[in-house]
């Protein structure tokens, strides 16, 4: 009986030793999983580069909390991440994955402005959908991709709830629409007139005004740079990072010579 117990104890000890050997890897994985669960982002390593992957999914939540059953991206969580990516010397670039129905206009536009103002290489990839205020977010990156099966909805600004029917309200809506139109056209290859025409189209959506562009159409219109998958977006980002590093290396080499 003692021999059997001794053998069991030895086996248990061996398993514990094996478990301890794998602990660092499991701990690293759990930290990564925790980051994904809490912030919808993850830091990865590709071709010797450190890349921050940020997801914009569901509805973009702004100043008002949405119902708990809604899948949301909270802009107050995303803003610090974008700032951290730009300021962290260990991070080389940003990959932004979008599958969003839109949401709060000002919150979405604020995130888009932050991404557009980054110096580090940025690439966006639209998967599923990049609708409404997701359009400015998609074009905010220095290079944008869209999956062939994805789509984007372009429509004018609208508001739910009580609205005062006065000229000032209409003027406010127009000014907001102008901000969105100007941002999109400045960060993509679509003309302002064409974007406005697509947004004001009355022939396509049954209960709304606007247009739905699938992947190839979004590229053809100049809204998105290219059709592509995750590997295409990653390859592009790695090339941009390599190019950026070579730029920084040249002045350093010159200083050493002098």
Burial label for 27, CB within 10 Å (0-12, 13-18, 19+), is exposed
Residue found by looking up tokens 């909805």 in the block:
153
Indicate the SS3 state at residue 152. strand
Q: By C-alpha distance, which of 71, 136, 70, 79 is closest to 109?
A: 136
Task: Give CA–CA dist 76/106, Å, rounded.
Answer: 12
CB-based burial, 68-90: b 16+ in 10 Å, e otherwise? eeeebbebeebeebbeebbeeee
| Active-site residue set | 132, 155
Task: Give CA–CA dist 18/44, Å, rounded.
Answer: 27
Q: Report residue 49 as tokens.
A: 């580069």
């Amino acid at each position: 009986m003692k021999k059997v117990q001794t053998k069991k104890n030895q086996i248990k000890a061996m398993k514990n030793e094996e478990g301890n050997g794998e602990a660092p890897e499991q701990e690293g994985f759990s930290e990564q999983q925790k980051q994904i669960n809490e912030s919808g982002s993850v830091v990865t390593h590709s071709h010797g580069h450190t890349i921050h992957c940020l997801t914009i999914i569901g509805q973009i939540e702004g100043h008002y909390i949405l119902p708990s059953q809604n899948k949301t991206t909270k802009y107050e969580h995303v803003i610090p991440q974008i700032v951290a990516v730009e300021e962290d010397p260990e991070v080389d670039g940003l990959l932004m994955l979008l599958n969003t129905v839109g949401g709060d206009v000002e919150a979405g536009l604020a995130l888009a402005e932050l991404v557009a103002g980054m110096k580090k290489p940025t690439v966006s990839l639209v998967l599923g959908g990049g609708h409404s205020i997701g359009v400015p977010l998609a074009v905010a990156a220095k290079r944008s991709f869209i999956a062939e099966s994805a789509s984007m909805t372009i429509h004018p600004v609208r508001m739910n709830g009580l609205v005062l029917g006065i000229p000032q309200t209409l003027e406010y809506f127009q000014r907001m629409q102008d901000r969105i139109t100007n941002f999109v056209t400045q960060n993509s290859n679509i003309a302002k007139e064409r974007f406005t025409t697509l947004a004001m189209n009355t022939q396509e959506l049954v209960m709304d005004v606007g247009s739905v562009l699938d992947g190839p159409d979004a590229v053809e219109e100049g809204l998105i740079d290219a059709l592509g998958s995750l590997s295409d977006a990653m390859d592009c980002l790695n090339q941009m990072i390599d190019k950026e590093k070579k730029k920084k290396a040249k002045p350093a080499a010159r200083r050493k010579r002098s």
